[in-house]
Amino acid sequence: MYELIQLTERTYYIHSPAKIGLVKLNDSNVCLIDSGNDKEAGRKLKKLLDSNGWHLTAIYNTHSNADHIGGNKYLQLNTGCKIFAPSVECCFTKYPVLEPSFLYGGYPMKELRHKFLMAQESSAEYLTPESLPEGFSIIDLPGHFFDMKGFRTPDDVVFLADCLSSPDTINKYRLTFVYDVGAYIATLETVKSMSARLFVPSHADVTDDISSLAQYNIDSVNSNAEMIISLCKSPVNFECLLGKLFNDLGLTMNFEQYVLVGSTVRSYLSWLKDNGRLNAYFDGNMLMWQGVN
């Protein structure tokens, strides 16, 4: 873990639970794309930077999930680097209690206030094209989270953040986290037609052809939708539906899985209702979901 992998003359990634990009700006200065999942990740990144004689000028966060911003605070305190994050993601980065609050739908209980769902706060600025080093460009990747962004480096390496999961991850967890299903599918369709020297997804292998992996993820979303519709043949409330999904997929319920998978299932339900594939109504003061006959 935290091995530095060189991709091109200027662009590297750091092998970690969520891949971290590193781009040389000149002989001494570098920037990072994301910062890992916690303070310990920040320490390891600082050690790596120091061993190469590199000065960190900025961190560009793709989005505000804790496993992508967890090293921000340590690195900012110890290097003085700037941090940039997109629009609403910048608010979550500055006030990370927003993530477990959003996932739970209220003030998060202590079982949800931990580093995997709530990073330490960092002083972030809004990401704009002007905040990027010369030759970089921003790629819109909405769907997984509110306003996730990717980056194309000057030597044509594209960092795709969390818009794709590996087949192994999909097959293991099936319902990978999605905030806006419609936007997510549109993003995957866009990514499928992209070309670049190399693509670096955060949770899949580096590749020079992303199309087949994008299609695999699209097929997974559609399969998940059909699975949810099939469980709504008879009227069902959310809690019962979620329990059935966990049982059918062989998942084990805990507080973290309840909010992560639960939030994703709610997003699927919204998308399916908006597209006329599910009905929702209130019965006995419970919100019920049912497939459209």
pLDDT at 277 over 80: yes
Is the pLDDT score of 282 beyond 90?
Answer: yes
- For residue 133, what pLDDT is reported? 97
| pTM for the structure as a whole | 0.96
Mean pLDDT to the nearest integer, 82-102? 98
| pLDDT for position 293 | 75
Task: Determine the residue type at 200.
Answer: V
**How far from chain centre, in Å, is Cα 155?**
24
CATH superfamily of 3-223: Ribonuclease Z/Hydroxyacylglutathione hydrolase-like (3.60.15.10)
Per residue in 188-207, pLDDT (tens digit) is 999 999 999 999 999 999 99
Q: Taking residues 84-107, what's their average pLDDT? A: 98
Residue 85 CA, distance from chain mean position: 13
| Whether pLDDT at 174 is above 80 | yes
pLDDT confidence of residue 285: 98
In the chain, what are the helix, strand and coil shares in percent, each to the nearest 5?
40, 25, 35
Average pLDDT over residues 211-224: 98
Q: Which amino acid is at 79?
A: T
Residue with tokens 């999909």: 170
pLDDT tens for 135-159 read: 999 999 999 999 999 999 999 999 9
Average pLDDT, integer, range 29-42:
97
**Mean predicted confidence (pLDDT) in 67-79:** 98
**In the prediction, which pLDDT does 71 show?**
98
Share of the chain above pLDDT 70, in %: 100
**What is the C-alpha separation between 49 and 56, in angstroms, rounded?**
7
* High-pLDDT (> 90) share of the chain, %: 98
The mean pLDDT value of the chain amounts to 97
Q: What is the pLDDT of residue 1?
A: 84
